[in-house]
Amino acid sequence: MAKQVDSLTKVEGPDRVHYKTGVLLNADDFVAEQNYHRGRLARALAYVNGSGTLAGLKVVHEPEAAATAETPLKPERILIEPGIAIDRLGRLIEVPDMLCVRLNHWYEQQDDAELRQSWNAADALWPGAVSGVAVDVFIRFAACERGKTPVFSCGPFDAIDAVTAARLRDGYETELLLRKEAAPGEPVNPWPDLSAVAESERPEQLRQAIFSAWNRQGSTIDDSLQGLDPLSEHAAGQDTTSLMLARMIIPADEAGPGSRPLRRLADDLQIRNDLRPFVITTNALARLLGININQSAD
């Protein structure tokens, strides 16, 4: 499926199309109508819920399985389980089926110098971390073309068979990103930690945090919603709407100049799914707090 630049990232504001009998409408008007409704919903999701994993999307490692008389060889894979997330603009990212990456094939395609830069000694990234190559798994929203339909030709050349996409599907892209920084950043909760604040002072602290929560950058009054500042987990030049899913360490021995870190295939891959940002539903929060509304009081 071919990709398109999502029209929601370039809007003139929360303007609704004004209808009147006799008004001529063109494609731009219908796109503006979609953008208004999509944009309002996205803003609500982004501010009411925040961004992060809403359900599923766990990253797991599946080791190679030898061939048997009944089954062929199953190569080593990194799997992303089905799930749904909300990105920084409030767009839903839904993965309905299992995603997989053949890890060794991906590893062999990487540049030797970049692999050396991404190698870390044991305990460097977190206590108990093995020595090896650091890799982050990201996912981001993508608008994908679906099908074809006839369209009037446009441009300098006449055509009698001009076509365009019949539908746009809200899709996604995944990325395995080598972390070449000495200390790659981790997602930071935008809300203050009030655990050390006296309970009587927490409401005022929370009010102040709410007063400071609105961010003009990326708001619907801007010309472009793509200019979001990178978060601590983003690498230089990365799409700043990308959501981090996990940080992995691929066990490997340190490499000398001109060579690549040699994988230790006998060692287990380490995956940190807990570093990602999460979106907590009210029901999940109630259970965390021990609130059971289905249980009648005695």
What are 232-279's pLDDT values in tens digits? 999 999 999 999 999 999 999 999 888 999 999 999 999 999 999 999
pLDDT one-digit tens code per residue, 65-106: 888 888 888 889 999 999 999 999 999 999 999 999 999 999
288 confidence band (pLDDT: 50, 70, 90):
confident
Taking phi over 0 as left and psi of -120 to 50 as alpha, with beta for the rest, 237 belongs to left
Beta strands in 190-284 (DSSP E): 243-253, 262-263, 270-272
Q: Which residues contact residue 30 at a Cβ distance below 8 angstroms, ignoring those fewer than 6 apart? A: none
pLDDT of residue 298: 55
Pick 12 or 51 by higher pLDDT: 51
Distance between CA atoms of residues 21 and 165, nearest Å: 29
Q: Are 248 and 135 in contact (CB under 8 A)?
A: yes
223 confidence band (pLDDT: 50, 70, 90):
very low
- What torsion, rounded to 10 degrees, do the Cα atoms 147, 152, 153, 159 define? 90
